[in-house]
Amino acid sequence: MHDLIIVGGGAAGLAAAAYALDKQLDVMVIYENLGGKINQKFTIHADTDFLVGHILVHLDTPETTPEEITRLGAETVEAFERQVTTQRGRALFDRVRQVSKEGDAFKIETERSGTLHAAAVIIASGAVPKQIEAPGREFINHGIGYTPVTFARALAGKTAVVIGCTQRALRGAAELARTVAQLYLVAPEFPADDPILAVLRKRPNVEILKGFTVKEVTGNSSVDTVVVEHEEKVRRLPVDAAFADVGLTPNSAMVKGLVETDADGFIIVDKRNATSLPGLFAAGDVTTVYGEHTLIAIGEGARAALAAHDYLLARG
């Protein structure tokens, strides 16, 4: 039986593994995508095309390259990845079907490797973006791309559209509004009393299209028009960049009914990343912790491992 099994090979999972290895724990990382978001590969033109939100975008002279931006935190995650994969028997490429508890031990059922056991578990399985249901999906990628915040400077003087009303979408729209010439904010509904939305309503370069939904995304090699619709009214929005953030779906099915989650399935954790079940911890995008960012995930993963280590010490 392992001391600790970590489900997920992204920033949070690898940071947790690095901490556990430093404490000389018998740790196993079970993953489907080692490296998480930083290792996602996209088909793009290196000089001019890249993903914004989940949509492929073309810019003639980007001031900030995707390579520069994605290095933030990536080197640390890659170092953790090397630390885990160079030690024999620490990494397992597989899918976890279910986690359960039998007595004082956890049972982890996998698709291809049978059943494993551990004294403690960390769930760091991440989340996937909800997709826009509209024609033009060749511009929409299934991976999590860059947020609007990332390209606020690169889009100075240009036109952008933000699709969605999540906190992340509104926060990105507010940063974009400070630099772009024109910003469209599109969503069927918006929160009633959001302070960021109140600021956006006052900006002359922002048009809020409440009640509109995306009908189509068009373009040649990259997106140049987003077609939106409300009842029988259709608007064609010419844009230089499009951002889509309509929410995330957590990869928490393996612990459904085992721990407390919110209405959307995100795992509820306390300030030490402990779930409602002793010995089971969670970190990263799969949890209710605010902020989806590699650096945040690294910190959350390390803290979850620290808490798991304390739990193991208390067991003797």
What is the per-residue pLDDT across 271-287, written as a single tens digit (0 to 9) for each?
Answer: 999 999 999 999 999 99
Distinct helix (H) and strand (E) counts, the chain: 6, 18
| Greater model confidence, 221 or 262 | 262
Cα–Cα separations (whole angstroms), residue 149 to 53, 145, 243: 10, 12, 10
Identity of the residue numbered 87: Q
Q: How far apart are CA 288 and CA 303, in angstroms?
A: 15
User: Average pLDDT of 15-38?
Assistant: 85
Give the angle 101-107-108 at the CA atoms, nearest 5°. 130
Taking the CA of residue 62 as centre, how many other CA atoms within 13 Å lie in the half-sphere pointing to its CB?
22
Helix residue ranges per DSSP H, 121-226: 167-177, 195-202
Q: What is the pTM of this model?
A: 0.77
Rounded to an integer, what distance in angstroms lies between the CA atom of residue 252 and that of residue 123?
8
pLDDT at 148: 57
Give the Cα separation of 86 and 45 in Å (integer).
33
Nearest to 171 by CA among 226, 245, 238: 245
**Burial grade of 39 (CB within 10 A; 0-12, 13-18, 19 or more):** middle
Looking at per-residue confidence, does 77 or 237 come out higher? Answer: 237
Q: With bands split at pLDDT 50, 70 and 90, how would you rate the model's confidence at 48?
A: very low
> At 29, is the pLDDT very low, low, confident or very high (cuts 50, 70, 90)?
very high
Residue 129, C-beta contacts closer than 8 angstroms, at least 6 positions apart: 54, 142, 143, 144, 244, 245, 246, 247, 248, 249
Backbone angles phi, psi at 59, to 5 degrees: -130, 140
Instruction: Pick left, alpha or beta for residue 169 (phi over 0 → left; psi -120 to 50 → alpha; otherwise beta).
Output: alpha
Banded model confidence at residue 151, pLDDT cuts 50, 70, 90: low
- Count other Cβ atoms within 10 Å, centred on residue 204: 7
Q: What confidence score (pLDDT) does residue 145 get? A: 34
For the beta carbon of residue 292, count every other beta carbon within 10 angstroms. Answer: 18
Over residues 187-212, the mean pLDDT reads 92
Cα–Cα distance measured from residue 74 to residue 28, given in angstroms and rounded to the nearest whole number: 22
Report residue 232 as tokens: 């029988």
Looking at this protein, which amino acid is placed at residue 122?
A: I
pLDDT tens-place string over residues 66-87: 444 445 556 666 777 777 777 7
- Spatial distance between the Cα atoms of 253 and 8, rounded to a whole number of angstroms: 13
pLDDT tens-digit readout, 89-132: 888 999 999 999 999 999 999 999 999 999 999 999 998 878 77
Q: Look up tokens 């959001």; give the residue.
A: 194
**Whose structure tokens read 């612990």?**
255
